[in-house]
Chain A
């Protein structure tokens, strides 16, 4: 209910978009997920869509997941899927470079499997929801619609789970 209210507030705060300020991005990178004494670094792929409603203020939707299971000791972990809805704040570009901050809400599913000493495997999946904050830098490539984007994101789900994502991607604006 609170999430729905947040989306509603978000929608009424952005009355319109400039049609030439929409973008799409594709990212690759890795997650750093730490729980208990184990650390997992599955490879991450994601896409983002968004737009600016005023100069450097906009919204962003990010969808992704890990491409592989990463193993630590006898445990394997994978980010099954992840969606993040954010408001974005970009700095004015200087020589084609701008920094940005994304603040939003995220939901993701973690899938963990473990091998027992007799070879049986058991899988556990859990869904988490919470806040996500990203910071990053974008470099315009020439005068065309493309730019390169690097970002760091951390998730806060009010659990003793450290979950960070490092990505590098390409944006196309239209």
Chain B
């Protein structure tokens, strides 16, 4: 059969239009997630998974209607290690979505009174024990207690070690039926004793409604300082007309016996960061890190470096400008400092050689040339050798031309090693040259 085409018509227009239409109509589907999860599971060597609840959660686990909570996933490796998996974009399921709904990111929401089981699967592995969630519409009656992350059922510990943050949550009693952590809570502290110094803060990781409390060391002498932690639920968040509140008395122990900042000499590149730590010794325990509870500040050279304290990433130093700064950490009466040198970012300029250089006395300098370029990797398109000043730390071992066409050429003078530096504007890089 042969198609008859009218003169002047455009025969390819119709199929082309249909082809384009096909592409528009084509339904893309398929889920890459199971394949990606398997790669993740093999990479992490995960043998099984379990659902984790937010910190301070209680068992049995209750939700209010329309209350949403983020669940987590904990993986166990074949050698028994625990590893937190990202709960986002997983296959979460609820046994009864009219009672508890769950989205792909593991956020469960109470829908109606009742009980439902939530499960999740990762890379074909399903949790051995689904999480039972009870939904209750019972009204909030009172704040049953203030619960701390250091508490356990056998011993409610009201003694705080200085500079070790503890998470506290207010546990509400709902209709005498269930207890669960409260979300809408205002927190205050009263330093009841002059011996106490405490600070409340939250971080991105703090569960909604909870608060971090860090006590700082009293002035010493073996005396603990008391503070009163108070949780208040505003009236509009209760079914009654009055606000609810509860308090807990805590003591900041005089338990800190040693405090330091590590490392003692720090170099950080401009616009880069490094993390300082604060190892601390406590009289009833081994050395712990007081990094997250210490009060960090730059005491000299504020324009050279900055440091984050509680509420951020404590001890995280950022190089702002080339120079020297002093970073100080305090924990009560304990004060320690370290000097931070901010150097030009090594990513500003780079040598054409990335390892120590070995040259020989007999070498022709033409064959031992150092070249410099802008950027992280040497690229002749960004070469600036002609604009760089070169220096040798020991000219009796090796010299480097810093002028003319031979700029960067290395000449072996004597046996030994020397450091060759290159400077361009504020950037400085160095490399070791050994002469044999």
List residues of A (132-174) whose CB comes within 8 Å of B's CBs.
156-161
With A2-B27, A16-B1 known to touch, is A38 a contact of B39 (CB < 8 Å)? yes
The residue in chain A whose Cβ has the minimal distance to the Cβ of B46 is A116
Which residues of chain A have C-beta atoms less than 8 A from B26's C-beta? 2-3, 6, 105, 129-131
Which residues of chain B have C-beta atoms less than 8 A from A53's C-beta? 3
In the complex, what distance in Å separates the CA atom of A36 from the CA atom of B16? 35
B124 on interface, CB distance cutoff 8 Å: yes
Does B22 lie within 8 Å of A114, measured CB to CB? no
Which residues of chain A have C-beta atoms less than 8 A from B123's C-beta? 122, 124
Does A130 lie within 8 Å of B30, measured CB to CB? yes
A104 on interface, CB distance cutoff 8 Å: yes
Contact for B18 among A13, A116, A160, CB less than 8 A: A13
Which residues of chain A have C-beta atoms less than 8 A from B43's C-beta? 73-74
Which residues of chain B have C-beta atoms less than 8 A from A103's C-beta? 19-20, 22-23
With A89-B12, A116-B78 known to touch, is A159 a contact of B32 (CB < 8 Å)? yes
Q: Mark each residue of chain B from 13 to 51: 1 if its CB lies under 8 Å from any CB of chain A, else 0.
A: 011101111110111111110111011111101010000
Count, chain A residues at interface, CB 8 A: 50
Which residues of chain B have C-beta atoms less than 8 A from A122's C-beta? 38, 123-124
Give the contact-size bracket for chain B: 35 or more
Number of residue pairs across A and B with beta carbons under 8 Å?
131
B8 on interface, CB distance cutoff 8 Å: no
B355 on interface, CB distance cutoff 8 Å: no
B222 on interface, CB distance cutoff 8 Å: no
With A128-B29, A157-B30 known to touch, is A14 a contact of B15 (CB < 8 Å)? yes
Does A36 lie within 8 Å of B30, measured CB to CB? no
In the complex, what distance in Å separates the CA atom of A130 from the CA atom of B11? 27
Does B1 lie within 8 Å of A6, measured CB to CB? no
Which residues of chain A have C-beta atoms less than 8 A from B15's C-beta? 13-14, 57, 87, 89
In the complex, what distance in Å separates the CA atom of A11 from the CA atom of B406? 73
Q: Identify the 8 closest CB pairs spanning chains A and B, nearest first.
A: A128-B30, A158-B28, A114-B42, A130-B28, A87-B19, A16-B1, A159-B32, A13-B18
Interface residues of A (CB under 8 A from B): 2-3, 5-6, 9-10, 13-19, 35-36, 38, 53-55, 57, 73-75, 77, 87, 89, 103-105, 110, 112, 114-118, 122, 124, 126-131, 156-161
9 A-B contacts (beta carbon < 8 Å): A6-B22, A16-B1, A89-B16, A114-B42, A126-B31, A128-B30, A129-B27, A159-B28, A161-B32
